Amino acid sequence: MLNYRPFVGKLGPWKAIFFLLFGASVAFAGVELDRLLQLAGQRYGDSGVASVNAWRDLLTETSNQPDTAKLRRVNDFFNRRIHFGDDSDIWGKRDYWATPLETLGRAQGDCEDFAIAKYVTLKLLGIPSDKMRLTYVKARIGGPQSSLVQAHMVLSYYPAPNDEPLVLDNLISDIRPASRRADLTTIFGFNAEGLWVGGVAPRAASPSQRLSKWQAVLTRMREEGID
């Protein structure tokens, strides 16, 4: 609890009291909020702390809601709060997969960062990961007749294994079934758990974990306090 002290002033007195009283009840399995907040403060300053607090509020508020509400709230949260940008502008690298903290802290991200942040948040809210796929899609931009296409990534949600998925996209604010997304053509979808190999958490010591972008994100996330 001592870790909270530097942030008390920034949280406002009522929220601080609330936090002190109910801190235990808002803690989520798999998230070290203290650490997240501390890191956000160190790296991104007040705006970072505010983003993480807002994200925490989102988790707190939606944790007891039905899955569809969770999907909508999370989709809206990231689509509104995070501004789209290219990796090269944000990170100075051609293709960088950011962790939710990095995305929240900078309030910027590209399509993978949106998809990852939504996936992680929904997983923390209790949506089983085998219902979700990170899907590579080819996106046609500029209407049905446009020939402008772009590589893109979205988060697909399968209510049941054989169902049509719902698409959580940062290009549009709605969540729509796949059939209503004629502008997207699927290329490949992967289950994040599958890459974790049988659900076993990869060993941090194993250097091979860094070789895959997805594994790299997972490792960094764990270092930042989201497991």
Partner 1 sequence: MSLTKQLWLAVIAIMTLAFGISFLVSAWSAKGYLEDQLRLKNSDNANSLALSMSQIEKDPVLIELLLSAQFDIGHYKQIKLTSPDGKVMMERVSDAVADTVPAWFVEMIPLHTEPGIAQVQDGWRQYGTLTVLSHNRFAYQALWQGNLRLLGWFLASALLCGAIGTLILRSITRPLAEVVKQAEAIGARRFITIAEPRTREFRSVVRAMNALSGQVRSMLEEESARLEQLRRDAQHDALTGLLNREHFLKKIQYALQDENSATTGALFILRLPDLIRMNKELGRETTDRLLKRVAGALQESCPDEPCLIGRLNGADFAVLAPDVESVDELAQRISARARLSINDPSAAEEHVVLLGAAVYRHGDAVSQVLSHADMALNRAVLEGGSAVEAGNLNIEWKPAASLVSAWQSLIETALNLKRVQFATYPVLNGQGQLIHYEAPARMQIIQSSMWISAQEFMPWASRLGLTERIDEAVFDYALVWLESNEGPVCINVSPQTVCDPVLTTRYYQALKRRQNLAQKLWIDIPEFVAYRHAREFRVFCDTLKSLGCKIGLEHVGNQICHVGELYDVGLDYLKIDSAIIRDIDQSPGNQTFLRGVCTIAHTMGMMTIAEGVLNQQEAGCLKELGFKGMTGPGIVLG
Query: What is the spatial distance between Cα 68 and Cα 66, in angstroms, rounded to a whole number?
Result: 6
In this structure, are residues 68 and 81 in contact, taking their beta carbons and an 8 Å threshold?
no
Query: What is the spatial distance between Cα 198 and Cα 113, in angstroms, rounded to a whole number?
Result: 24
State which residue, 76 or 193, has the beta carbon closest to partner 1: 193
Residues that bind partner 1 (CB under 8 A): 133, 135, 156, 158, 161-162, 164-165, 178-179, 186-191, 194-195, 197-198, 200, 206, 208, 211
The least distance separating partner 1 from the CB of residue 14, rounded to whole angstroms, comes to 46
Three-state DSSP class for residue 157:
strand
| Dihedral over alpha carbons 201, 204, 207, 210 (to 10 degrees) | 70
Question: How would DSSP label each residue in 99-153?
Answer: PHHHHHHHTEE-HHHHHHHHHHHHHHTT--GGGEEEEEEEEEESSTT--EEEEEE
Question: In this structure, what are the phi and psi dihedrals at residue 12, rounded to the nearest 5 degrees?
Answer: 85, 145
State which residue, 32 or 193, has the beta carbon closest to partner 1: 193
The least distance separating partner 1 from the CB of residue 111, rounded to whole angstroms, comes to 17
State which residue, 61 or 163, has the beta carbon closest to partner 1: 163
State which residue, 82 or 134, has the beta carbon closest to partner 1: 134
State which residue, 148 or 160, has the beta carbon closest to partner 1: 160
The least distance separating partner 1 from the CB of residue 195, rounded to whole angstroms, comes to 7
State which residue, 28 or 158, has the beta carbon closest to partner 1: 158
Query: What is the spatial distance between Cα 176 and Cα 142, in angstroms, rounded to a whole number?
Result: 18
- Going by their DSSP bridges, the two strands 166-168 and 176-177 should be labelled as antiparallel
The least distance separating partner 1 from the CB of residue 117, rounded to whole angstroms, comes to 21
The least distance separating partner 1 from the CB of residue 136, rounded to whole angstroms, comes to 9
The least distance separating partner 1 from the CB of residue 171, rounded to whole angstroms, comes to 16
